[in-house]
Every structure is written in structure tokens, then in C-alpha cells.
Amino acid sequence: MRTLSPEPGEVDLVERYAYPPGVTWMRANMVASLDGAAQRDERSGGLGNAADRHLFLLLRGLADVVVIGAGTVRAEGYGPVRPSEGWDGVREGRPPVPPLAIVSRSLDLDFDAPVFTEAQVPTIVLATATADPVRLKAAREHADVIIAGRDSLDFPAAVRELATRGHRRLLCEGGPTVLGQVVAAGLLDELCLTLSPMMLGGNPTRILNGPPVDVPPDMALAHALQDKEFLFLRYTRNR
């Protein structure tokens, strides 16, 4: 055993979290308590600290698109991505912010909310072909809609379409239902996991919520960072 991997010392986060060049890469960023809870009081914000928030924002800055489930958008009142401190240089040659790509079957979304009306880059909705036509029309009026799959989102097709549009550095911010399917579809290349020094009990979900994953990905520890009692683990997939 060793203390922290690879070795203790100050880190350049932009360098540490740089996406591999020239490939489509799906990173997920999640936080969990010591006993595996992905929620505290039905939100994830109560699990983090300032360093977690800083990393959360930096990872957005490094991404081309932020994939997010409609459940999290509703639970956390998601707004659009806004430029953030610490982004100096990271978005050179790219739009000022990555758009959100919201996964939704019901399209039960508030299209008059800032997440659509104040987005600097139009919010994307990842929808299904059998979505309610009236809601689909509303979605098309307020967002950039990608249809992938009939009754259920075809995640690989959605990722291919995002990549075709130049969104190859993907960041999935969950929630657990969406992340479970991203992993099940074999799409996850990297997990950034903040381990929060809390023990909460109760019945919150874990960071993956869904049926057992048929072929669990083989993950390797890329690094482990520490800020006070928090650990920031980065695992990448062995292919």
C-alpha cells in the first residue's frame, strides 16, 4: 500500500484532467459519501466542499458538452453552464461554454426556465422518437433536439450524434439513472469520483441506479487527489 497515488504534492488540475486528444471520450463526474450515498436531502450539492465545486466547474470548462438527466435538472433546478473562474485558456477556439444535453423521455421540462432561455450556447435535448408531439414541438422551439431511439434513448446513437457535431469531450454529470445506462451501454471511459467524508444511512441511491451492469468496465486508478478530508479519484477504463 502507499499513501496517495501517484505521489503527494501540488497539482495542475487543468493538466491532470485534460481529455485525451483526438478521441470521443465520456467522462462522468460524481460525488458520493463514505457509505455510498449519491444524494443528501435529495440533492448532490450537500455532499461536496469548495474544492469539489471548483473541480465540478473546471471539468465543465474542459468539456464540449455536459450530458445530464432530466431528473437532476428538475431536482437541482439546473441553470445553463456559465463561464467560470479558472477557465483561463481552457476554452480557446471553442464556444464560451459547453451546452447542456438533457436526457428526457417525457420532455416534462420547463422550456421557459433559464436553462433554456439564458443559455449562451443552445441547450440540447436528447429525446426519443415516441415523445409527445406537442412537447417535442415546444422542445424544438427552445432547444436543439436530437432524436435517438424510439421509446428509450439510444445512448450510443446519441453520443455518436453529439460527436458528429464536434462534441467529442463529453462530461456526464449523472444522475444515477442516466449514468447507470451510460455504463451499461459500455460508453463510460472515465469516472471522476469525489469521496465525501460523510456517513448518511437512509435510502439514497448510489452513483449508478439501474439493473446490474452485464459487462462491468475494468477501471484503473489514474490518480487520487486530496483536499482536507475529501478524496478526488480519477479512474479510466482499460480497453
Residue 238 main-chain phi, psi, to 5 deg? -80, 125
User: 169 to 228, contacts with ligand NAP by CB under 6 A?
Assistant: 173-178, 181, 207, 209
Q: Which of residues 117-146 bind ligand NAP (CB under 6 A)?
A: 128
> What's the min distance (Å) between Cβ of 183 and ligand NAP?
12
Residues 62-81 binding ligand NAP (CB under 6 A) are: 69-72, 75-76
CB atoms closer than 10 angstroms to residue 86: 12
Residue nearer to ligand NAP on the CB measure, 163 or 193: 193
Nearest to 103 by CA among 73, 82, 75, 76: 73
Residue 10 beta carbon to ligand NAP: minimum distance, rounded to whole angstroms: 26
Q: Which is nearer to ligand NAP, 46 or 217 (CB)?
A: 46
Question: For residue 5, how many C-alpha atoms fall within 13 Å in the half-sphere facing its CB?
Answer: 11
Residue closer to ligand NAP (CB basis): 8 or 45: 45
Residue 79: phi and psi, rounded to 5, are -100, 180
d(CA 17, CA 26) in angstroms, rounded, equals 13
Closest CA to 195 of 179, 204, 206: 206
Binding region for ligand NAP (CB under 6 A): 30-32, 38-39, 42-44, 69-72, 75-76, 103-106, 108, 128, 152-153, 173-178, 181, 207, 209
